[in-house]
Structure 1
Amino acid sequence: MRVLITGFPQPTHIYPLVPYAQALQNAGHEVCVACPGGVEDLITSAGLTAVTTGRAEEVDVDTWAAMEAPDLDEMDRLAEELGFHNAADRDHWEVFYQFFVFATRFYIPRKPRKDIEELVDFARAWKPDLVLWESWFPAGAVAARACGAAHARVVIGPDYGMWSAERFAERQRRAGAASLENPYPSTVARLANRYGFDVDDELLNGQRTIDPLTPELRLTTGPSDIPVRWIPYNGGMAKPSWLHGRPERPRLAFTVGVSTRAFDQGEWRTPKIFEAVSGLDVEVVATLNSDQLVGIDRIPGNVRTVDYLPLSQLLPTCSAVISHGSSGSLWASIAANIPQLITDTGDRHRLDLDNAENKTTAARAQADNAEEKVTERAPDSWISSKFVVDRGAGLRLDHQTQSVEEMRAQIAEVLDGPSYREGAAALHREWLSKPSPADIVPDLEKLAAER
């Protein structure tokens, strides 16, 4: 069969799709990964066929603002209307509204985008039997319906789309009427309506959902549709010689993802973490580029900085990891069977797109108005840190409230404590018990055949 795979064109969204594409290709199916321009090298380097729709464009702050930057007053008003008074619901809502809906609107704005039109045109011309679309990129579902293909949604993190549907439905039951509009379906409708069909649950949630998450991370109450094992993929490179053998002392990985590379100079967690690890008898490998190291006066002697290194190469050589708690880092660490320290703060999730460009860590720290600061909290950090702590597989680090000595003590505790290794091993066994991407290929073949 022919399989079209598509997603939001950023490494953190495309990389999780690669194992499914490779599994289908290895099973003898014809696979194309098609999405707006800019990530074709990531796709082809994985041995896959890339189809580029549109071209990569530089997006400045003014362009972001024009693409319906989140209205924080409206976000707060809707939160009150929905009854989001506890911290958990409020955190989920702010990530949903500012990140998930904004990402959806980025590729489904009020004025149609040529690259999305070209994606639908390609689907209609190539006529796939099956479309797999990443959960932050519902344009893929529209392309599937426009060409008549079966389609499945691939969840790559907390399921904010389904979570919002459940919360708005709950509010409707309480109020007895649909008095509030969920911004996610109405955004997808802009594109669906252009091709002559309405938005329904199947379009928003897929005919099936490929779901690698545990119940704690999923956020939704329903059962997992097609459970699967998250296979970490971070790209490839030649393994450096210093990774060939075992380290002479415990090795600690430090990774904070790609977001601060893209939008900031300086990295707010790093100064304190460097101070904390400098007093430990460990070898630290920090995957930080030059922009993330802006403002760092001294790199401790036991810290090696590398611009890029696949976590699938680094983590198996480590005794523990410090990360920002993204799904990619979380599952790569679980796959490597190591304890985790996840950085998280009590910050609210507040974006400041108008003032985000060129804001250094120092500038943020000196801001007089806290509402104008770019948040020092990663979107999923609190979910991941709670999960790891509750499962006994690690601890939470808060650079805002903890002293260097407190952070150092927690890092040492995780490195030395057998209970954290046991907790990590339990998560690893649970991860191994799930079917691999190759194991679910028959489910996907059946879906295509039925449709």
Structure 2
Amino acid sequence: MRVLFVVSDWFTHYAPMIPLGWALQSGGHEVRVVCPAGQAGPLADAGLTPVPVLGGLDMVTQTRLLYYWQAQGDNRPYPGMPLHPVTGEELASLDGFSYDAWFAEHKREIAGAVKANFTGTLAHAREWRADLVVHDPLSLEGLFAAKATGVPAVLHAWGPVGTDEQDPLLRLLPPDPAGFFPRHGLGEAGTHLVDHVVDPCPASLAPPTRAHRLPVRFVPYNGPGEMPEWVLEPPARPRVCVIWGASLTRMFGPRSFVVPDILRALAGLDAEVVLTGIPQDTAALGAVPAGVRVLERFPLRFLLPTCSAVVHHGGAGSTMTAVAAGVPQLALTFAPEQQANGVRLAATGAGAHLRGDLADPAAIRREVARLLDDPSFATAAARLREENAARPTPADLARTLAELAEAGSVAAAR
């Protein structure tokens, strides 16, 4: 079987798909990944074959444009002014950027990139004769290529936010303004065309979807890395991991960098604090409090099983890696999807949620102390871990996809 993955321009969007790619290849199937050029390196590092034919705006610029456009419509996903979509600088007012003028200047370039992405993905699916397409929620090109070639399309969710959300700010599948779907006789694009969804969440966190659900165990992959021996040694005190997403400051600005507040909040707790982040963020901290261990680009899957609690920004990758490790979580969120993750996690009893723009050191300290002192959080987190471990493995899902592809080819032949 030939399986075509189609992924967007952000590592954590497709990281949950990588163990499935390994399982498919180990089962004797061929896997290729249509991707933006910037993701070819991480995909190759993971042992998959990238096909870097996608282009256009990078994910950070796209997101800043979206937040600005929403703010213009008085539908702000977070308080305060959005960043300048192009420069990333803080705007004093919405008048500091003109969406209409920017779009008028770049619409031909954008239209060309969109056309190249759709036609390039379709051409590769046809030329390679893919039997099945698996795509992340932002990769509309994958759904299009599958529908246009008559093979099954499978959307791979990355966390608790699904394909059928009531909140418009949580609807991830992009629109089709150029009309590629109707132009190819497929009707209007939308989630009603999503037939199958890979669901990597325990039932307690199941993402809303009306599609046929394909359950799978979430197997964490946070990129390559080495395992230092100290991680294997049991900590003398409860270990609290602080994770801060690489995207936040670039999308929300310096006000979203609340790591100093977190470290102040944790000072004085009877706990060992380990901070993980990207070099730019750890450098921005300057001197860190005594006793805080700083790790840069460290794979979370190695660290979290040794932790008693974790503080993060509510991203799906951090949330689900902590679920798999069975660690109580505090989510300090900014974006709508992060907030949904945090609220849904808190509802399971395995964590707590605070809005990042409202949380102060006292509130953060109070919530982390609850995670450490109240055993119900550890019990609920262990239950989520067990739910996850009981789900079908990526190898099981690979066999299910092979059956789906075979059924699809029979239907196409008829």
Matched, 1:238 2:226: yes
| 1:271–1:296 contact (8 Å) kept in structure 2 | yes
Alignment of 1:25-104 (within 5 A): 25-54=25-54, 65=65, 70-72=69-71, 74=73, 76=75
Q: Which residue of 2 aligns with 1:410?
A: 367
Distance 2:357 2:197 in 1: 38
Determine which of 430, 443, 447 is the counterpart of 2:387. 430
Partner AA of 1:340 in structure 2:
Q
In the TM superposition, residue 418 of structure 1 has moved relative to its aligned partner by: 1.8
Q: How does 1:163-242 map to 2 (within 5 A)?
A: 163=165, 187=176, 190-199=179-188, 205-214=193-202, 217-218=205-206, 220=208, 222=210, 225-242=213-230
**C-alpha RMSD over aligned residues:** 3.3
Contact 2:279 2:296 in 1 (8 A): yes
TM-fit CA distance, 1:444: 1.0
Q: Which amino acid aligns with 1:144?
A: A
Distance of aligned partners of 1:16 and 1:293 in 2 relative to their CA distance in 1, 3 Å threshold: same
- Whichever residue aligns with residue 229 of structure 2, its letter is S
1:21 aligns with 2:10: no
Is this contact kept in 1: 2:20–2:397, CA < 8 A? no
**TM-score, length basis structure 2:** 0.79
CA contact (8 A) 2:155 2:198 kept: yes
CA distance in 2: counterparts of 1:131 and 1:143, whole angstroms: 8
Counterpart selection for 1:332 from 311, 321, 327: 321
Contact 2:276–2:298 (CA under 8 A) maintained in structure 1 = yes
1:131–1:150 CA contact under 8 A, matched in 2: yes
Residue aligning to 2:124: 122
Q: Tell me the amino acid that sits aligned with residue 35 of structure 2.
A: C
How many residue pairs get aligned? The number is 373
| Deviation at residue 253 of structure 1 after TM alignment | 0.8
Assess if the C-alpha contact under 8 Å between 2:164 and 2:209 holds in 1.
no
CA–CA distance in structure 2, aligned partners of residues 430 and 58 of structure 1: 36
Cα distance in 1 for residues equivalent to 2:64 and 2:376: 46
Partner amino acid, structure 1, of 2:312: S
CA distance in 1, matches of 2:363, 2:249: 27
For residues 256-275 of structure 1, what are the alpha-carbon distances to aligned partners after superposition, in whole Å with 9 as ceiling and x for unaligned? 22212644457532121110
Secondary structure at the aligned position of 1:384 is classed as helix
CA deviations on 1:176-198 (whole Å, 9 max, x unpaired) are xxxxxx99685266232454542
Structure 2 SS opposite 1:135: coil
State whether residues 134 and 142 of structure 2, in contact with CA within 8 Å, keep that contact through their aligned partners in structure 1.
yes
Alpha-carbon distance change, 237 to 186 in structure 1, aligned in 2, over 3 angstroms: closer
TM-score normalized by structure 1? 0.73
Distance of aligned partners of 1:329 and 1:61 in 2 relative to their CA distance in 1, 3 Å threshold? closer
Are the aligned partners of 1:335 and 1:431 in contact in 2 as well (CA < 8 Å)? yes
Q: In the alignment, which residue of structure 2 is the partner of 1:441?
A: 398
Q: Which residue is 2:10 aligned to?
A: 10
**3-state SS, counterpart of residue 344 of structure 2:** helix
User: Residue 396 of structure 1: SS of its match in structure 2?
Assistant: strand
Report the identity percentage: 31
**Closer/same/farther in 2, CA of residues 402 and 118 from structure 1, 3 Å limit:** closer
Relative to structure 1, the CA distance from residue 156 to residue 58 in structure 2 (aligned partners, 3 Å threshold; closer, same or farther) is closer
Q: Identify the match of residue 337 of structure 2 among 370, 375, 380.
A: 380
Match of 1:303 among 292, 297, 316: 292
1:317-358 Cα deviation digits (max 9, x unpaired): 2111111112111111111111111114xxxxxxxxxxxxxx
Report the CA distance between 1:407 and its aligned residue: 2.5
Any unmatched runs of 5+ in structure 1? 78-105, 168-181, 345-376
Find the counterpart in structure 2 of residue 450 from structure 1: 407
